[in-house]
Structure 1
Amino acid sequence: MDALLHLQGDPESPLTPFFLIHAISGLALPYLALGSLSDDSERPVYGISSPTYEFKSYTLPSTLDSLAAEYVNLIRREVQPKGPYLLGGWSMGGMIAMRMAALLESQGEKVLQVVLVDSSNPETIPPFATKNEHEILTSLTFSHVSRGLEMPGCPPLNRNDSDSSIATTSCSSSDERFFNPIQMGASTPDSEICSEEELYDEEYDDDDDDFEDDDAVNMMEWPSRMRKHIFNGLSLIACKNAPSKYGPVIAQVTLIKCASLDKLPPLLSDTRRHAIQKLFRDSKSGWRLPQFRTLLINSAHDHVLDAEHAEELTEAFRKALKSVKH
């Protein structure tokens, strides 16, 4: 699957394209649930998926800033060489979009707006307490996402994994509920919990590939690659909580914030539970920028792109983009 997906609108339109960055799954496909984001259905809208679903050799960058630079290069190469730019994303996607905006502005480009969908500021999120917490969050997140996308099979976190506590949190439980992985997966300076070497412990195993020279990813490989993307994505966030090296964002930022909080899993520590509740009560979800506004949507984080909420989210996007005249 190509990393860049045309979602809607006219690619030849003079209106500024709108780029939506993937959440923790690495897939932009959920954005297909959105209705038209412009009155005349003209503005081109693109989704950015992780190249892990396109190339077997792809390796996740080691920082959010590096990932943002990769996606900025993709946009410039494939769609829009020069600004102004219009960016957004759900959950982790919003975090990446903010880093992309900061990078573009540092290069002298204009960013018209960044639209966040229930994205928390990663700098305000508490760290993982243990490696086991990281693995459990990966299992729970993958379980929900794979069911939502009707993806078959739930491969183990690691083919050498023998930890029975992780096995009990795999896809077999019907009581598992997805929760905001970005609020769960936090940043930590403790290299014993998440070192840079650990980030790449989840390298993809292609030994069973019948076509060693073929770098294309088959859809049957998506489940295992998604789980590893979730693990490595949480690692990336968990190890790198510093502010962007490109500085604070100057552009207008709109947060489309969910007005309800999902039931939190009993496996969470009290520290993490309290942090999630605090971020939920904060109208800015931890962001501290003067050019910031919040729009509420009557949904919970993990259901915001479900069919019953897609129309309301579409209207929130349209309201956020109404001030963008070109």
Structure 2
Amino acid sequence: MDELREALLAREPLAPDPDEMLAAAGRRVERHRARRRVAGAVAAVAVVVAGVTTGMSLLRSPAPEAPGLTVAAPGAVSAPELPFTLSGELTGYQVTNWTQSGTGFSAELTGISVLGSVEIWLGTEDPEIGQTSPVTAVEVNGGPATVRTVGSHGQLRISWQPAPGRWATILAGVSGATAEALELAAEGLSIKPVPAEALLQSLTVPGSLSVASWTGYSGALDTVVLCPVDVPSKNPPTFPGGLSNTSCVTVQAGKGDAPYAPLPAGNTSFKEVERTRNGDVYLSDDHRMALRRVGADGWVLAQTEHGDASVLPELVISAKVG
């Protein structure tokens, strides 16, 4: 233990100074303000030409497809991609969890900057609709953007259109963030999909169900909510916290101790029902939960409260876990 403590102390001077990192971020904000003042003077001269060429470019460019799940029901459903890449002020931020649903793609990220942790959302509906708090008009990569205070903690959020038909927001994790810092962060977000860190890579969905949401937690736990096709995708149920529609099915993949949470209460007994090349499958006494062991410490669990329980074994058997 003493040797470990001495080794850590010897490396301490090599670690980056958080105060210096925050100070550097502040200097970038000041440089950005100066660039905007210069750019504003140039833009006043070139606005007519720029407006014409930009308009022609937008007319020639087709609107990109909205981010979505790769769904072909009945059939294989693959984990979604992260619909963005990070650079600039967001360099070094790590995605801790993400969710793809009928309302868009959202992600929480952690990092060291004047913004603290941030939440990013991408979708096809204007997030400013229905908002009434005061706004500050800014620009992101030359296009209009809006910064406003949202929530009860006084956090700032920036919203803009990164591409035709697409909207994005970044919510700062601390109340002391500035509009300039959010503007810089937004300019570091590009609509370039990259693979998401997903433990559950794919599964086969029966034709009676469709994907309502898919959530990933740093490659350690994935949760997919499948609902009957008549359940509106714009108002998907949430999990955990209870399914708003009890006919939906939840499929989870994880590592470590299998979640023997009873559903309904008191039902904790699993019995082995089938041995497959993908692992042993177990059913709860009421057949409302199906469990498959994956390797030494992995598992897939499917459960429903009042939905079609007959699909649960095939769901856990078809799940591909990475």
| TM-score of the two chains, using structure 1 as the length reference | 0.24
Greater RCO, 1 or 2 (C-alpha within 8 Å, sep 6+): 1
Q: Which has the larger radius of gyration?
A: 2
Which structure shows the higher strand fraction? 2
The answer to which structure has the higher helix fraction is: 1
